[in-house]
């Protein structure tokens, strides 16, 4: 546990027993993760090292929001604190042949859980970047306004502050703003519950070979945005998308809109990891300006 005696004492007090062992789990780039095993043999998943004092508290509320539909597994949150997050430990298993088909159907059912306005009751994080979720009155019922202002423009302004946005990107964003209504035309739907940051590193295959969602950036938005993110690093099995489409068909033109949703995440990677993502961001912008 990295020698943090205060965290150890709080967990042991809550559990009513001592921690026997702690072992690091690799894979995360924002916080440190470990599996702790109690004297009784019960295991928990522990995250420490948040980049913001609110990060773990907001992650806990996002995980609990994803639990509400009851259609896909999410780790149970036991303790949430500015310094750590203690959750159910999900022992990973290899995916079986029908895993992505089942995952696609379950993800479609998650998106059927809806509310009457875009955004979320609080801001949270996408990786280590703040994610602005609280809509203005106009944005609450206008997806185009919400997505451009709270997602694309916020990331662009952050890139400007970091010195990562040049004149070409500035002009590209000005043109995108003029075209955003037509780009997203025809895709109007009620706000769906979104994971917000779903890629291959943000789900597990659990003990029963079912999907388990982790590390969310929850808000209520257009489900095409969630599906676009799954394709950022190569995408999932075709069975996932086929099963999703059979369960909850997407509106015509969703392929055309995919790049605008990918742009949010590529801009976030530009802001998190630097200029290596600049070219990809400009290519996505240019795809709508040709």
Domain boundaries, the chain: 5-88, 99-286
Looking at CATH, the fold of the domain delimited by 5-88 is given as: Phosphorylase Kinase; domain 1 (3.30.200)
What is the percent of the chain with per-residue pLDDT over 70, rounded to a whole number?
98
pLDDT interval class at 27 (50, 70, 90) = low
Which CATH superfamily does the domain covering 99-286 fall into? Aminoglycoside phosphotransferase (APH), C-terminal lobe (3.90.1200.10)
> For 90-114, how does the pLDDT look when each residue is reduced to its tens digit (9 = 90+)?
998 999 999 999 999 999 999 999 9
Strands 129-131 and 124-126: antiparallel
- Report the candidate in 219, 233, 241 with the shortest Cα–Cα distance to residue 262: 233
**pTM for the whole thing?**
0.95
pLDDT interval class at 50 (50, 70, 90) = confident
pLDDT interval class at 2 (50, 70, 90) = very low
- Describe the strand order of the beta sheet including 19-25 as a list of residue ranges: 19-25, 32-38, 43-48, 84-88, 77-80
For residue 67, the model assigns a pLDDT of 97
For residue 29, the model assigns a pLDDT of 64
For residue 52, the model assigns a pLDDT of 86
Q: How far apart are CA 44 and CA 21, in angstroms?
A: 11
- Catalytic residue (choose from 81, 197, 215, 226): 197
> For 152-193, how does the pLDDT look when each residue is reduced to its tens digit (9 = 90+)?
999 999 999 999 999 999 999 999 999 999 999 989 999 999
197 has catalytic annotation: yes
Provide mean pLDDT across the span 225-244. Answer: 97
Q: How far apart are CA 152 and CA 265, in angstroms?
A: 9
pLDDT interval class at 30 (50, 70, 90) = confident
Give the rounded distance of the alpha carbon of 271 from its chain centre.
Answer: 16
Gyration radius (Cα) of the chain, Å: 20
**Rounded mean pLDDT of the chain?**
95
Is the alpha carbon torsion for 111, 232, 277, 128 positive or negative? Answer: positive
> For 120-159, how does the pLDDT look when each residue is reduced to its tens digit (9 = 90+)?
999 999 999 999 999 999 999 999 999 999 999 999 999 9
Residue bearing the bigger pLDDT, 232 or 53? 232
For residue 119, the model assigns a pLDDT of 98
Q: Of 43-52, 163-172, 250-259, 276-285, which range is least confident?
A: 43-52
For residue 290, the model assigns a pLDDT of 82
């Amino acid at each position: 546990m990295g020698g943090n005696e205060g965290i150890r004492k709080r967990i042991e007090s809550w559990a009513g027993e001592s921690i026997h062992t702690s072992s690091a789990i690799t894979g995360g780039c924002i916080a440190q993760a470990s599996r702790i095993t109690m004297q009784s043999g019960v295991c928990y998943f522990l995250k420490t090292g948040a980049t913001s004092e609110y990060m773990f508290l907001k992650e806990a509320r996002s995980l609990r929001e994803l639990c509400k539909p009851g259609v896909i597994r999410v780790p149970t949150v036991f303790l949430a604190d500015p310094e750590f997050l203690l959750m159910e430990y999900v022992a990973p298993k290899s995916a079986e042949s029908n895993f992505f088909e089942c995952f696609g159907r379950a993800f479609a059912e998650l998106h059927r859980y809806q509310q009457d306005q875009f955004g979320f009751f609080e801001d949270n994080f996408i990786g280590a970047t703040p994610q602005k979720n609280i809509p203005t009155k106009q944005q609450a019922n206008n997806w185009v306004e919400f997505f451009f202002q709270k997602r694309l423009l916020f990331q662009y302004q952050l890139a400007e502050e970091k010195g990562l946005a040049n004149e070409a990107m500035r002009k590209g964003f000005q043109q995108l703003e003029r075209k955003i209504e037509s780009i997203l035309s025809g895709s109007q739907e009620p706000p769906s519950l979104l994971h917000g940051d779903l890629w291959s590193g943000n789900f597990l295959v659990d003990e029963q070979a079912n999907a388990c969602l982790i590390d969310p950036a929850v808000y209520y938005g257009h489900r095409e945005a969630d599906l676009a993110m799954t394709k950022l690093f190569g995408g999932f099995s075709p069975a996932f998308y086929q099963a999703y489409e059979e369960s909850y068909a997407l509106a015509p033109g969703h392929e055309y809109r995919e790049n605008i949703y990918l742009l949010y995440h590529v801009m976030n990677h530009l802001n998190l990891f630097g200029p290596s993502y600049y070219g990809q961001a400009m290519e996505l912008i240019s795809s709508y300006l040709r």
